[in-house]
């Protein structure tokens, strides 16, 4: 791979211990950074629907990158033979990484039989080594643009949810309330004449509870009785009975259809209200989570500030320490020089002391002769 400069190119080595004991379908390496972009290695130890080991280069932070991001990169992935590097396998790729294609690589990198062959050094001491080399050519948008915060997509969604909830409340959705308005035609004033009291009472019960089991048969019987009565009914009542009886099947079918539709309406209304409650609860929980995230962000800023203070104090201490080190070396050097001079002067002092002793003896003898 040809890199434009050292900044745009990087290498990463991933060592996996106890490789044959890995049960996961796929494994991810830790993230590494090249040219300000995060990358990681994606590995299928048992192959991605193939009898070969599958190996890819992946973008780990794709969900937090700005919309429309792209990365054009050249790269290579290598499986290292730890006993004979000449048998290491290296494959190169060149790809535009996008939101839709966040990873790219090689589904059939090395046959699993070859990988696990004991004569090779790919699994030396059950350790598997992969090396990635990445050269970033172009990045859109540039990495110095502030990336989207992890909470931005949540804020966006729940802002729209809040608008939806407010609109629903404005349109009169009230959680937990139900109503059932029935047509006044389902009830009727009941005459009180004794001759048809029983039939009228039955008719009253049927009209009040038309949608209960067997009400249709009881209503038909009551209408038949009342239609044959010659007394105890007003002309208007007789006309109403005859009209209803003449269209009995249509009327009862309409009533029963209405009851079914009304029951279905009430069911969906109840379900809607329940979902509305869930939406409101989700939004309220989101606000709590957002507040917690804001609090954590403040704590993070405070920690950063403290870290900067600690770093400043550490740098000052290191600077003072370096000065002290220089001074100590100077003092040590002077000390060594003085040590040498002490040895030299001590020798000269001893010689002069001997001479002085002879001079004092001669002086004493001279003084004794004349004093």
- Looking up tokens 């009881």 gives 218
d(CA 101, CA 98): 5
* Residue 290 neighbours by CB under 8 Å, 6+ apart: 151, 154, 155, 158
Structure tokens at 94: 């060149």
Could you tell me if 79 and 130 are in contact, meaning their C-beta atoms sit under 8 angstroms apart?
yes
Q: Which fold has domain 9-140?
A: 2.60.210
- Most confidently modeled of 30-34, 223-227, 272-276, 360-364? 30-34
As a whole number of Å, the CA-based R_g of the chain is 48
Q: How many CA atoms lie within 13 A of 53 on its CB side?
A: 23
Q: Which residue has the tokens 């038309």?
A: 210
In 195-222, which positions are buried (b, 16+ CB within 10 angstroms) versus exposed (e)? Answer: ebeebbebbebbbeebbeeebbebbeeb
Q: Long-range pairs for 233-236 at CB < 8 Å and ≥24 separation?
A: 233/191, 233/193, 233/196, 234/191
Is a pLDDT exceeding 60 seen at residue 255?
Answer: yes
Percent of the chain with pLDDT over 90: 32
Q: Is residue 42 predicted with pLDDT exceeding 90?
A: yes
Q: Select from 80, 172, 85, 170 the least CA-distant residue to 127.
A: 80
Per-residue pLDDT tens over the stretch 58-103: 999 988 899 889 999 999 999 999 999 999 999 999 999 999 899 9
pLDDT of residue 162: 56
Q: pLDDT band at residue 3, thresholds of 50, 70 and 90?
A: very low
Q: Are strands 9-16 and 128-140 parallel, antiparallel or unpaired?
A: antiparallel
Q: What is the pLDDT of residues 279-292, one digit of tens each?
A: 888 888 888 888 88
Give the pLDDT of residue 64: 87
194-241 pLDDT, tens per residue?
546 676 676 666 666 555 545 667 777 777 677 666 566 777 777 777
Q: Distance (Å, rounded) from C-alpha 235 to C-alpha 168?
A: 51
Q: What is the mean pLDDT of the chain?
A: 80
pTM score: 0.41
Q: Is the pLDDT of residue 123 over 60?
A: yes
- Omega of the bond leading into 17 within 30 degrees of 0 (cis): no
What is d(CA 48, CA 108) in angstroms, rounded to the nearest whole number? Answer: 8
Domain limits, the chain: 9-140, 184-246
The residue whose two tokens read 């992969």 is: 130
Rounded Cα distance, 20 and 46, in Å:
10
> For residue 210, which of 156, 261, 258, 255 has the smallest C-alpha distance?
255
Question: Mean of the pLDDT values across residues 25-48?
Answer: 95
Give the separation between CA 136 and CA 36, rounded to whole angstroms: 9
Hey, what's the torsion of the CAs at 115, 120, 124, 129, to 10 degrees? -50
Q: Are 344 and 352 in contact (CB under 8 A)?
A: no
What does residue 181 show for φ and ψ, rounded to 5 degrees?
Answer: -100, 115
φ/ψ of 9, rounded to 5, equals -130, 140
SS (H, E, C) 308-326: HHHHHHHHHHHHHHHHHHH
Q: How far apart (Å, rounded) are the C-alpha atoms in residues 109 and 53?
A: 6
Q: What is the mean pLDDT of residues 4-33?
A: 89
Q: How confident is the model at residue 169 (pLDDT cuts 50, 70, 90)?
A: low
**How far from the centroid of its chain's Cα atoms is residue 263's Cα?**
42
Q: State the Cα–Cα distance between residues 107 and 348, nearest whole angstrom.
A: 88
Query: Is-contact 40 29, C-beta < 8 A?
Result: yes
């Amino acid at each position: 791979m040809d890199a434009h400069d050292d900044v745009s190119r990087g290498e990463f080595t991933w060592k996996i211990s106890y490789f044959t004991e890995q049960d996961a379908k796929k494994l991810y390496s830790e993230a590494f950074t090249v040219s300000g972009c995060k990358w990681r290695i994606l590995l299928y130890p048992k192959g991605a629907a193939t009898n070969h080991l599958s190996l890819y280069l992946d973008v780990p932070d794709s969900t937090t990158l700005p919309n429309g991001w792209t990365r054009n990169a050249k790269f290579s992935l290598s499986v290292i033979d730890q006993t004979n590097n000449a048998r290491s396998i290296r494959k190169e790729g060149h790809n535009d990484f996008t939101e839709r294609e966040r990873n790219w690589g090689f589904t059939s990198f090395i046959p699993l039989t070859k990988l696990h062959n004991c004569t090779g050094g790919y699994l030396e001491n059950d350790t598997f080594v992969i090396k990635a080399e990445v050269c970033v050519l172009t990045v859109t948008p540039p990495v110095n643009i502030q990336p989207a915060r992890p909470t931005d997509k949540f804020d966006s969604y729940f802002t729209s949810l809040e608008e939806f909830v407010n609109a629903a409340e404005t349109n009169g959705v009230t959680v937990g309330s139900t109503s059932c308005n029935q047509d006044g035609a389902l009830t009727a004033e009941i005459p009180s004449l004794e001759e048809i009291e029983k039939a009228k009472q039955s008719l009253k019960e049927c009209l009040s509870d038309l949608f209960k089991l067997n009400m249709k048969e009881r209503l038909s019987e009551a209408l038949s009785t009342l239609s044959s009565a010659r007394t105890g009914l007003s002309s208007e009542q007789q006309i109403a009975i005859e009209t209803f009886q003449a269209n009995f099947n249509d009327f009862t079918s309409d009533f029963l259809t209405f009851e079914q539709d009304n029951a279905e309406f009430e069911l969906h209304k109840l379900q809607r209200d329940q979902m509305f409650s869930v939406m409101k609860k989700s939004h309220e929980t989101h606000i709590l989570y957002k507040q917690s995230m804001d609090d954590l962000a403040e704590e993070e800023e405070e920690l950063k500030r403290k870290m900067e203070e600690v770093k400043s104090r550490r740098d000052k201490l290191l600077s003072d320490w370096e000065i002290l080190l220089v001074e100590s070396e100077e003092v040590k050097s002077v000390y060594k020089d003085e040590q040498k001079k002490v040895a030299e002067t001590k020798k000269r002092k001893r010689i002069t002391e001997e001479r002085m002793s002879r001079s004092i003896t001669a002086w004493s003898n001279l003084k004794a002769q004349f004093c």
